[in-house]
Structure 1
């Protein structure tokens, strides 16, 4: 089927959501471990899904599961690793067919789509205040919807600024930009002095939420307490105008409208942009693909707006409400995300943990090694942002629709098809019409 005949992803989710709301409310759990033919019950089995962590972390998870099973000899854990691109469709299908796993690794934005349909076990009454207090409070909030907790935080990543010191020096820039206001000045300076671009950020509606997050960093509220559009304000218009001006002044590559974050990495590796906003792990990719660029790369904290807010991307663990082993599933999820195991996985995967003690330990490790390489310095910068970093785009129903509406209208303004005022009005009106139906 050609791409022109594919349904938009958010439309498909909405349609499936209607079916799920009926199925979830009407279905009852199907035992995943029925008695054996002889009538003797076997060990309890729970199924655990992760996203694209094999084969790199196969040994880690095999050891983790063996340790849990040793401490819980009546429990068997069946681990299933799902490709990243397939997870959303597979979990939607599994939930609707009443065959969902007992513990599943998702991210809060997608998990919230199903949380709004009651798909996940709520955790507030199942956890003690002491258990909740182990996790970073700002990160815990990422897996809450309408005041109810639907997931346990797991591993984290956050953007930092990776910059090409050679290009910056050629343009007379001694320090990388810390704010979007500074970034606009740097973009002009680099373009005029070197003929290259300062950076690439995507406005492709189904790709990165970085532009949506930038609005929040500039002080824009996306929605109000009733879920209606709150971005049609003076600050919202100023944020729209910021991106429109950069594009129309020729300070952003033309393909920002159609290509995703992968293009940002390609351009930086080719020496065509001076700044890359990405995770520390991409320094290893740059070192492999473009060693000359890696040699002149340095790192700095994430660029933000007047709020000073920094983004964090969260991976969490959720427990389908259909499970017939809720206590065992929760015990396993708590085991995977405890201090010891979070720190071990953070070390193995070059990510950050979401428990307070593990993060402190990780930060101290990174600080001690920061002088050794740009990668270690990047990890230290990344960890230092975690105490105040937050999920900038709230977990809410139809968040992908909101991103599409804002990006589509912002693109129209960038191309001169609409004024900034008309673009932001149209986006707000379309969202409110959808929200009211």
Structure 2
């Protein structure tokens, strides 16, 4: 009897010590510093879980994810680039998060920016929760614009063209930088959205031959054909901005500190503004989502981790670590983000930002759009012809 009591006491002691915490595997892309730090904080709050965090370089992340899915050796939680949601989501790799969201107080659609929330939707199912967001805004030289009669950033399409032309006539080699070495669609497509156009309509029909798209293409390529922006890039964007060769360009929030660090000679002579308006001021929305894999071995713990990462205070902490913008609206109420007017402008732009169409074939479509823009820039096709040919190519891609 005494021996039995001793055995029971040992068992109870092991249980009370929570022997063998439940493991959660988390993959963070790039250096993953913010998710790594949050993993440590998560374990402090939830000692019943042990987080095995792994940083996965972006360069080989796609292939690693494919291999893990094929071998059914997936992590519980992973950071997923927004344009990767559709390829993996459409193959059934992710857990549908709708049931978890229904019972959550933290993860609700209204708690996030609309454009960010939509990045996690594939085929009508919510597979991802916004982790951080990426959005574009206008960088401009306040001093040079003042010289051509603008005491403010160009507010509309008409003002943007007028200002760029006047800047060029005033001595700037170009008035604006629009070219990107890769993913040029990220600069072009906001103009399509601002004009009410898109790639697909709500029924999935290709709409790039419609007036809204063609007009945006005409407007965008005009800067190139009139010599107001370099066709293949003009060198170092920081040097060109500082010299006045390209006094306006569009980019993300990471450029704020980089510009301050690399071009201190123009401090106080530049600022950040919202995108120019036609029918809207819509900008490009990127970033990453957090997902749970369908073959996860610990979905309950994985969801707790996502909820933890989605808290506004933890999104704010992630921003402090990496400068990646929070996806949670409430985080933007913090003085830390409001204290810098330039960062606050990006927060305002997030209210009118959109992600590209969420289909598995998007990368092929994006490449086709880049080729189409080049054909118009170099005069090989008219905007109308290029748009019609693009429609046929996208329809072929989607078959």
Q: Please state which band the TM-score falls in when normalised by the shorter chain.
A: 0.7 to 0.9
2:143 aligned counterpart, secondary structure: helix
Alignment partner, residue 47 of structure 1: 25
Q: Distance in 2 between matches of 1:201 and 1:93?
A: 37
**Residue equivalent to 2:312:** 339
Aligned to 1:214: 191
User: What is the aligned counterpart of 2:108 among 116, 127, 132?
Assistant: 132
Matches within 5 A, 1:400-415: 400-415=363-378
Q: 1:187 to 1:167 in 2, by over 3 A?
A: same
Instruction: Say if 1:66 and 1:350 are closer, same or farther in 2 by CA, change over 3 A.
Output: closer
Residue 214 of structure 1, CA deviation: 2.1
Q: Secondary structure at the match of 2:283?
A: coil
Matched, 1:121 2:113: no
Pair 1:113–1:263, CA change in 2 (3 A): farther
How many angstroms does 1:203 deviate by?
5.7
- Higher mean alpha-carbon deviation, 42-51 vs 407-416, is at 42-51
Equivalent residues in 2 for 1:239-258 (5 A)? 239-256=216-233
Instruction: Tell me by how many angstroms 1:410 deviates.
Output: 1.9
Q: 127, 130, 143: which is aligned to 1:150?
A: 127
User: Corresponding residue for 2:263?
Assistant: 290
Task: Output the CA distance in 2 between the equivalents of 1:334 and 1:233.
Answer: 42
Report deviation, 1:270. Answer: 4.7
Q: Is the deviation greater in 342-351 or in 288-297?
A: 342-351
Q: Is 1:309 aligned to 2:282, yes or no? A: yes
Counting only pairs closer than 5 Å after superposition, residues 184-333 of structure 1 correspond to structure 2 as 184-202=161-179, 206-207=183-184, 209-256=186-233, 264-265=237-238, 267-333=240-306
**Offset, 1:303:** 2.8
- Contact kept? 1:46, 1:102, Cα under 8 Å: yes
Is contact 1:213–1:393 with CA below 8 Å preserved after alignment? no
Task: Give the Cα separation in 2 of the matches to 1:235 and 1:263.
Answer: 33
Q: Could you tell me how far 1:245 is from its partner in structure 2?
A: 1.9
Q: How big is the shift at 1:307?
A: 2.1
Match of 2:6 in 1: none
Secondary structure in 2 aligned to 1:255?
Answer: coil
Q: What is the aligned counterpart of 1:423 among 347, 366, 386?
A: 386
Deviates more, 1:415-424 or 1:270-279: 270-279
1:99-151 CA-to-partner distances (Å, cap 9, x unmatched) read 22211112222122111111111101222264324622513222111221001
Bigger CA drift: 115-124 or 207-216? 207-216
The Cα of 1:167 is off from its aligned counterpart by: 2.3
Q: Cα distance 1:331–1:348, how it changes in 2: closer, same or farther (>3 A)?
A: same
For 1:141 and 1:245, the matched residues in 2 are separated by: 32
* CA distance in 1: counterparts of 2:276 and 2:236, whole angstroms: 19
User: Compared with structure 1, are the counterparts of its residues 100 and 268 closer, same or farther at alpha carbon in structure 2 (3 Å cutoff)?
Assistant: farther
Give, in whole Å, the separation in 2 of the partners of 1:308 and 1:53: 33
2:81 corresponds to which of 90, 103, 107: 107
Count of aligned pairs between the two proteins: 378
Tell me, in whole angstroms, the C-alpha distance in 2 between the residues paired with 1:84 and 1:270: 33
For 1:421 and 1:238, the matched residues in 2 are separated by: 9
* Separation in 2, partners of 1:134, 1:226: 25
| Alpha-carbon distance in structure 1 between the residues aligned to 2:242 and 2:94 | 41
Q: 1:411 & 1:115 partners in 2: Cα distance?
A: 31
- 1:251 offset after TM fit, Å? 1.0
RMSD of aligned alpha carbons: 2.4
Question: Which of 31, 36, 54 is the matching residue for 1:80?
Answer: 54
SS in 2 for 1:311: strand
Q: Does 1:69 align with 2:32?
A: no
Give the structure 2 partner of residue 10 of structure 1.
none
Q: 1:108 touches 1:316 (CA, 8 Å); kept in 2?
A: yes
Q: Distance in 2 between matches of 1:269 and 1:278?
A: 15
- Hey, what's the Cα distance between the residues in 2 that align with 1:94 and 1:269? 46
Structure 1 position 417, deviation (Å): 1.0
**Unmatched 5+ residue regions in structure 1?**
1-40, 370-375
Shift of 1:220: 0.8
Between the aligned partners of 2:383 and 2:348, the Cα distance in structure 1 is 36
Match of 1:4 in 2: none
* Structure 1, 269-278 or 237-246: larger mean CA deviation: 269-278
